[in-house]
Each structure stands twice: as structure tokens, then as C-alpha cells.
């Protein structure tokens, strides 16, 4: 396991090449091409702005403008959910590559996570533009912590992608199960509602065991809430939880890679 893990860094050129291929293939044949990476989050945020400004206006002062508040959590969630959903079938769809003796199978789910991370990063300028348009700016003191939260999410998502992709090779029903579990996971994460709401605080123990709860709240504290909101400065808020989740994600990644490595020899026959 440790030898294969050490070799993973040497495949960075291969990973970069496959990520580029994945991004190009996603919009191959479309008129706008790669520009859809900007258009998709723009259209999504425009729809939410219209719905929650005119059809279902939000009355909570803490989460105004609501479309920006929700997008601060929805953007990283889209990266996470898309990565897990797509990684479930990544080894199966890449069966021809896996059957090559020297091809590192773990590259495929990692490429899926990185490709979706690129879309996440390309959505950030759209979020920034809407913040400027609504005159709602993040706390500059919190922004330097943003790369830390992204790194924690990258490690955690990669670990889960490795487990899901390796198990789906042998249990094909897992793809449908994962899709439904992600829907449940979405609604048990404070993305469309405020984590300070009374019904969330009543079940605080339940939310605290949800890893993405701490990621979502970290993004909100960095990008949306301001220090004048008591307890919502990231340093005095979810920084400690984020650091704990980061350490746990590293352990989780090693465990996930161990499972992947144990199942590696069975992939070629199963796909």
C-alpha cells in the first residue's frame, strides 16, 4: 500500500492530462464548449436569485441576500456530490485503462474529484460577481482561510471517492444507493437553511457528526457571514472543527486507499 501511495505523486502528469481530457470531453460538441463552466453556475445563481427574491422571498435578515447565502454552500456541495456520483462509475467506465498492466486505477476517481474541483473554482468568480452586485462582501480577515477549507474538502472527497469507486465495481447497486444517500445528505446539511436555526440547534449532536456540515458552515463563515455576527468569525467559529476534520480526513484517506489497494487486483476481472 505505502509503495503504491508513494508512486501516486509520480503520476501527476498523467492526472493533469486526464483532468484536461475530462474537462474537454464534458462539453465536446456544444456551441459554447468550456464556457459552460461559467454559464452553468451563472444560470443556477440567477434562477435562485429570481425564485427567492420574487416567488419565495426570504424574510430572515441573517441570510440576506438569500441566493448568495445558499450559493456559498451549494457551490462546494455540487463539487462534492458530482464527484461522488461520477466516481461510483469511474472504474467501470475506465475498464479498458484498468486492464492495462501498468495503469494506476486510483487515478480515475481522483481525476473525477479534481475535474469537478475545477468547475467549483470556475464558479467562484460568478459568486464574487453576485456579491458585488448585491453589495454583500466577505470578511477579508477570513478569506486567507479559504484554501484550507478547499484542501480539507479535497482530501475528504478523494477518500470517499476511492471507497465508492472500488466497492461499486463489485456491487453495482451502490451507484443508485449513493445517489439517494446524497439527496438525504444534502437536506441534513445547512445549505438551504441557517445553521443557527432553532431546529438545527436542537439536533446539534446529529449535525456535528456530519462532515459536510462543518465544511458548509466553514464556507459560509468565510464567504458570507461577517465578524459582527457574534460567533461567526471563522477563527472563533468552525476553524477548530475544520482542523479536526482535516486530520480525520487524512486518516480516512489512508483507510480508503488501503481498501482500494486490497481490491485492486480484482478490478480487471470485475469491469
The per-residue pLDDT for range 119-174, each reduced to its tens digit, is 899 889 888 888 888 888 887 888 899 999 999 999 999 999 999 999 998 888 88
Spacing of C-alpha 7 from chain mean position = 25
Mean pLDDT, the chain, integer: 84
Q: Is 156 left (phi over 0), alpha (psi -120 to 50) or beta?
A: alpha
Residues 6+ apart with CB under 8 A from 85: 175, 178, 179, 182
Residue 5 CB coordination number (10 Å): 15
Q: Read off φ and ψ for residue 262, nearest 5 degrees.
A: -70, -30
> What tens digit of pLDDT does each residue of 35-52 get?
667 777 778 777 877 777
Task: Compute the distance between CA of residue 164 and CA of residue 196 in angstroms, rounded to an integer.
Answer: 32
pLDDT of residue 64: 81
Tell which residue, 212, 157, 221, has the closest CA to residue 190.
Answer: 212
Spacing of C-alpha 233 from chain mean position = 22
Indicate if the pLDDT at residue 80 is higher than 50. Answer: yes
CA distances from 157 to 136, 202, 252 (A): 29, 28, 10
Indicate if the pLDDT at residue 114 is higher than 60. Answer: yes
Amino acid at each position: 500500500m505505502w509503495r503504491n501511495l508513494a508512486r501516486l505523486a509520480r503520476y501527476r502528469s498523467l492526472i493533469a492530462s486526464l483532468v484536461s481530457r475530462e474537462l474537454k470531453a464534458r462539453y465536446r460538441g456544444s456551441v459554447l464548449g468550456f464556457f459552460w463552466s461559467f454559464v452553468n453556475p451563472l444560470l443556477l445563481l440567477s434562477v435562485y436569485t429570481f425564485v427567492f427574491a420574487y416567488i419565495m422571498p426570504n424574510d430572515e435578515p441573517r441570510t440576506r441576500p438569500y441566493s448568495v447565502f445558499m450559493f456559498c454552500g451549494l457551490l462546494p456541495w455540487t463539487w462534492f456530490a458530482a464527484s461522488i456520483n461520477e466516481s461510483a462509475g469511474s472504474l467501470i467506465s475506465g475498464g479498458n485503462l484498468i486492464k492495462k498492466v501498468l495503469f494506476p486505477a486510483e487515478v480515475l476517481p481522483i481525476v473525477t474529484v479534481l475535474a469537478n474541483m475545477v468547475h467549483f473554482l470556475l464558479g467562484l468568480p460568478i459568486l464574487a460577481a453576485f456579491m458585488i452586485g448585491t453589495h454583500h462582501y466577505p470578511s477579508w480577515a477570513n478569506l486567507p482561510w479559504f484554501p484550507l477549507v478547499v484542501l480539507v474538502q479535497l482530501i475528504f472527497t478523494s477518500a470517499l471517492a476511492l471507497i465508492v469507486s472500488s466497492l461499486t465495481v463489485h456491487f453495482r447497486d451502490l451507484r443508485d444507493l449513493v445517489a439517494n444517500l446524497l439527496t438525504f445528505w444534502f437536506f441534513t446539511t445547512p445549505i438551504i437553511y441557517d445553521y443557527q436555526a432553532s431546529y438545527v440547534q436542537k439536533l446539534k449532536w446529529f449535525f456535528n457528526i456530519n462532515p459536510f456540515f462543518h465544511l458548509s458552515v466553514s464556507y459560509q463563515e468565510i464567504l458570507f457571514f461577517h465578524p459582527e455576527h457574534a460567533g461567526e468569525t471563522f477563527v472563533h467559529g468552525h476553524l477548530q472543527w475544520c482542523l479536526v476534520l482535516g486530520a480525520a480526513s487524512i486518516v480516512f484517506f489512508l483507510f480508503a486507499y488501503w481498501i482500494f489497494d486490497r481490491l485492486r487486483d480484482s478490478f480487471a476481472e470485475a469491469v
